[in-house]
Amino acid sequence: MATSPPDPTLPAGEERAGRGERPERDAAGLGRARAAAFVVPALLLIAAFLVFPALWTIYLGLTDYRLTGLAAVDPQVVGLDNFERALDDDGFTNSLGLTLQFVVGSAVIGQAGLGFAIAWVLRNRRGFGRRLIEAMVLLAWILPSSVIAFLWIALLDRDDGTLNALLSTPGTAWLLEHPMLSIVVFNIWRGTAFSMMLYAAALGNVPPSHLETARLAGASSPQQLRDVVFPRIRGHVLTNLLLISLWTFNDFTPFLLTGGGPEDRTEIMPVFIYRTALFGGELGFGAAISVLMLLINLVIAVVYVRLLRRRKDPA
Amino acid sequence: MNAPPAETSGETGERPGDRHAAGLDGARRLLGTVGFYTFCSLVLAFFSVPLLWLASAPFDDTPSITASLPSFTLDNFETLLDNRYALRSLGNSTILAAGTGALVVVCSALAAYALSRVRLPGRDALLYVLLLLSSIVTGTAAMVPLFNLAYELDLIDSQLGVILVLSGGLLPSAVFILKDFMDGTPRSYEESAQVFGASPLQVMRHVVVPLVRPGLATIAVWSVAQVWGNFLIPFLLLRSPEKSPAAVVMYTFYTEGGQPDLALISTFSLLYSVPVVLMFLLVSSRYGFRFHGGIKR
């Protein structure tokens, strides 16, 4: 309650005017001005710690700012040099490719696919079995990332790892031999819960009578999915894909597992930026890569939003 | 162990004419049941195997990397109590999580209520832009300027700085989700409260908050869980180990110094995990996780 807004005691007339415009919407008699005052604390925080850093990133991307040395004291604007350098940089293209593999493999295919499969299979079940499975999936999602990272390091350990014991493949150093596969599977394990819960809720909105009708008409499960279920949950699917793609794109947790290595084989974009900017000290160059990353995120988001919009037009 | 198989009984009124069809049907159903249990077992195995170690190692008298049946002991927890930073870091995590949670819930509730009830110009565009920004900017992309900003504001090595930065990152999604909850509540109560002369803040406190309590609980739990597990921001902004939260301290346990102390790591992991799990259980049993709002359009 310490952060209740600075309530500007407004002249009653102004409030009336605000209410007069849309009397039916303004149930609490808030008035535009007071409504704005309610929004201000949140907006201030967002502006200071989200929007401002984002804009600053764009500015830094245009400079040769460094963590140490001459350029740290007096950074010069170098225009688009950083961006040209990034696009030519092997490390950047490598990292971009790895990030795409990571996002498509672990989020779009892995989390969404597995999440939907679990939700679909369990849709008519109640009772202990369902609760147990959901609890396990959720546990993977809610535990702190540092703990999860160590659990997986232990699981995949070369000498004493539980996985090697289970698969009887002693001596396989998963994080060194199959680093990308490891973090993809790791991220599927980590994030499937969100998709599962979302699809479970979405499937709840599909009227059972429609599925029943389709079944009686002789539709197989894949046909039911395609013709009855999917058209109804298309919006959910797209929103889900948008969110998990963006989250996965910006996920730093694989760093706790592999630190970007071996060499640079798991150096996804956030790790690449961290290594370049704060480890390598090239803050300006790092910021430029951040901007490129923001642009890619924006493209992903715009594509999804477009697809979402199209849902409404033909119908 | 498992749910009773649905659809295996009933509705096969077997008539002599279509015995063949019924046979096929039965075979398919059997196949389906087998497939169902196989799938469930695989999913269960996939999700539980990595967690086994967390359940066994803390109570093992010679904890190793491999998950195994422990020879039971509680000695490992003494190692934990002896460590200077372990318990303190959990306290730090609590401060950060509680501070951020309170700030996010209060600010987002006020904002979501206003945005839900009054059509401010450019509201929807604003919401979407902020949501997009939050999923994009939090963390890595804005690492460098966040560090600089904290430095300029003298918030380096300050827990307040971490709370503010985290709140800024969580607020857009919180507002977005809560606004959907608020949209779904009836306005008639507020109108009558207003008729009886309640001020907007009073309406908010006595009418709206009770109505959207599940939404507020969801946001509170969500933001606390986000902060509790967040590694990057405190890693970036805090310097002294005395102020570091559990996420950062835990990372130093297994990266610094040659041989990791498994007794310490395992007990600490467990202690660090228990609060989120408890909170989650409490809230989901009390309110149920409302997932319909906020995400669909």
Query: If you average pLDDT over every residue of chain A, what do you get?
Result: 81
Q: Indicate the residue of B140, B147, B169 with minimum beta-carbon distance to A273.
A: B140
State the Cα–Cα distance between residues A165 and A274, nearest whole angstrom. Answer: 35
Q: Tokens 């967690």 correspond to what residue?
A: B51
On the question of pLDDT at A9 being above 60, the answer is no
> Which chain A residue lies closest to B145 (C-alpha atoms)?
A53
User: Average pLDDT in the B200-208 region?
Assistant: 81
Strand partners, A63: A77
Report which of B208, B109, B181, B115 is spatially closest to residue A26, judged by C-alpha positions. Answer: B115
Q: Which residues make Cβ contacts (< 8 Å) with residue A57, sequence separation at least 6? A: A287, A290, A291, A294, B137, B141, B142, B144, B145
Lowest mean pLDDT among A69-78, A136-145, A261-270, B36-45: A69-78
The CATH class of the B80-286 domain is: mainly alpha
Please give the single-letter amino acid code of residue A199.
Y
Please give the single-letter amino acid code of residue B149.
L
Using a CB-CB cut-off of 8 Å, the residues of chain B touching A31 are: 118
Q: How many CB pairs under 8 A join A and B?
A: 319
Cβ burial, residue B156 (10 Å; 0-12/13-18/19+): middle
Domain spans, chain B: 1-73, 80-286
How many other CB atoms sit within 10 Å of the CB of residue B113? 28
What pLDDT, in 10s, does the model give residues A187-210?
Answer: 999 999 989 988 988 888 788 888
Report which of A6, A36, A273 is spatially closest to residue B123, judged by C-alpha positions. Answer: A36
Torsion of CA B248, B252, B253, B256, to 10 degrees: 180
User: Average pLDDT in the B142-171 region?
Assistant: 87
Put simply, the answer to whether B190 touches A143 (Cβ < 8 Å) is no
What is the reported pLDDT for A182? Answer: 92
Put simply, the answer to whether B171 touches A274 (Cβ < 8 Å) is no
Asked if residue A62 belongs to a domain, the reply is no
User: Average pLDDT in the A75-80 region?
Assistant: 80
**H-helix or E-strand spanning residue B27:** helix B19-56
What pLDDT, in 10s, does the model give residues A218-256?
Answer: 888 888 888 888 888 888 888 889 888 888 988 888 888
Report which of B113, B103, B278, B291 is spatially closest to residue B214, judged by C-alpha positions. Answer: B291
Asked if residue A153 belongs to a domain, the reply is yes
Q: Indicate the residue of B200, B231, B265 with minimum beta-carbon distance to A30.
A: B200
User: Average pLDDT in the A47-67 region?
Assistant: 84
**What CATH number should be reported for the domain holding residue A124?**
1.10.3720.10
The whole-angstrom distance between residue A269's C-alpha and the CA centroid of its chain comes to: 13
What is the reported pLDDT for A22? Answer: 41
> Which chain A residue lies closest to B295 (C-alpha atoms)?
A239
> From the candidates A143, A184, A296, which should be mutated to test the interface with B, based on the most B CB atoms within 10 A?
A143
Asked if residue A292 belongs to a domain, the reply is yes
Put simply, the answer to whether B50 touches A142 (Cβ < 8 Å) is no
Using a CB-CB cut-off of 8 Å, the residues of chain B touching A287 are: 144-145
Lowest mean pLDDT among A76-85, A169-178, B77-86: B77-86
Cβ burial, residue A154 (10 Å; 0-12/13-18/19+): buried
HSE of A167, CA atoms in CB hemisphere, 13 A:
17
List B residues 17-36 in contact with A (Cβ-Cβ < 8 A). 36
What is the reported pLDDT for B287? Answer: 61
Residues A290, A273 contacting (CB under 8 angstroms): yes
Which tokens belong to B178? 């809560």
Lowest mean pLDDT among A23-37, A267-281, B16-30: A23-37
On the question of pLDDT at A261 being above 50, the answer is yes
- Which ranges of chain A does DSSP label H, i.e. alpha helix? 12-21, 31-46, 52-61, 70-73, 81-88, 90-102, 112-121, 128-142, 145-155, 162-167, 174-177, 179-204, 208-216, 221-224, 230-249, 254-258, 269-273, 283-312
What pLDDT, in 10s, does the model give residues B23-64?
Answer: 777 888 888 889 899 999 999 999 999 888 888 888 877 777
What is the reported pLDDT for B277? Answer: 86
The whole-angstrom distance between residue B4's C-alpha and the CA centroid of its chain comes to: 30
On the question of pLDDT at B11 being above 80, the answer is no
On the question of pLDDT at A67 being above 80, the answer is no
Query: If you average pLDDT over every residue of chain B, what do you get?
Result: 79
State the Cα–Cα distance between residues B26 and B19, nearest whole angstrom. Answer: 10
Asked if residue A278 belongs to a domain, the reply is yes
Residues A218, A135 contacting (CB under 8 angstroms): no
Cβ–Cβ contact B204 with A under 8 A? yes
What is the reported pLDDT for B294? Answer: 36
What is the reported pLDDT for B99? Answer: 95
What pLDDT, in 10s, does the model give residues A180-193?
Answer: 999 999 999 999 99
What is the reported pLDDT for B164? Answer: 93
Strand partners, B60: B72
B261: alpha, beta or left? (left if phi > 0; alpha if psi -120 to 50): beta
Using a CB-CB cut-off of 8 Å, the residues of chain A touching B204 are: 28
State the Cα–Cα distance between residues B191 and A192, nearest whole angstrom. Answer: 42
What is the reported pLDDT for B42? Answer: 93
Kindly report the backbone phi and psi dihedral angles of residue B72, in degrees, each rounded to the nearest multiple of 5, phi listed first.
-60, 135
What pLDDT, in 10s, does the model give residues A142-152?
Answer: 888 889 988 99
- Greater pLDDT, B80 or B229: B229
Could you tell me the CA-to-CA distances from A312 to A235, A315, B148, B183, B192 in Å, in that order?
Answer: 10, 6, 44, 21, 37
Q: How confident is the model at residue A311 (pLDDT cuts 50, 70, 90)?
A: low
Q: How confident is the model at residue A7 (pLDDT cuts 50, 70, 90)?
A: very low
What is the reported pLDDT for B15? Answer: 52
Q: Indicate the residue of B2, B135, B254 with minimum beta-carbon distance to A129.
A: B2
Number of domains in chain A: 1
User: Average pLDDT in the A163-170 region?
Assistant: 84
Q: Tokens 């295996």 correspond to what residue?
A: B8
DSSP per position, A173-240 = -HHHHSHHHHHHHHHHHHHHHHHHHHHHHHHHTS-HHHHHHHHHTT--HHHHIIIIIHHHHHHHHHHH
B19-56 and A145-155 helices cross at what angle (nearest 10)?
100
**H-helix or E-strand spanning residue B106:** helix B86-117
What is the reported pLDDT for B137? Answer: 63
Asked if residue A142 belongs to a domain, the reply is yes
Cβ–Cβ contact B139 with A under 8 A? yes
3-class secondary-structure state, position A170: coil
Q: Tell me the residue range of the domain where A185 lies.
A: 91-312
What is the reported pLDDT for B18? Answer: 60
**A276: DSSP letter:** I
Could you tell me the CA-to-CA distances from B31 to B24, B27, B34, B37, B38 in Å, in that order?
Answer: 10, 6, 5, 10, 10
Asked if residue A167 belongs to a domain, the reply is yes
Using a CB-CB cut-off of 8 Å, the residues of chain A touching B254 are: 150, 153
3-class secondary-structure state, position B60: strand
- Greater pLDDT, A88 or B290: A88
B7: alpha, beta or left? (left if phi > 0; alpha if psi -120 to 50): left
Report which of A21, A213, A97, A103 is spatially closest to residue B119, judged by C-alpha positions. Answer: A21
Put simply, the answer to whether B297 touches A239 (Cβ < 8 Å) is yes
On the question of pLDDT at A6 being above 60, the answer is no
On the question of pLDDT at A157 being above 90, the answer is no
On the question of pLDDT at A130 being above 70, the answer is yes
On the question of pLDDT at A16 being above 50, the answer is no
How many other CB atoms sit within 10 Å of the CB of residue A208? 10
What is the reported pLDDT for A117? Answer: 93
Q: How confident is the model at residue B182 (pLDDT cuts 50, 70, 90)?
A: confident
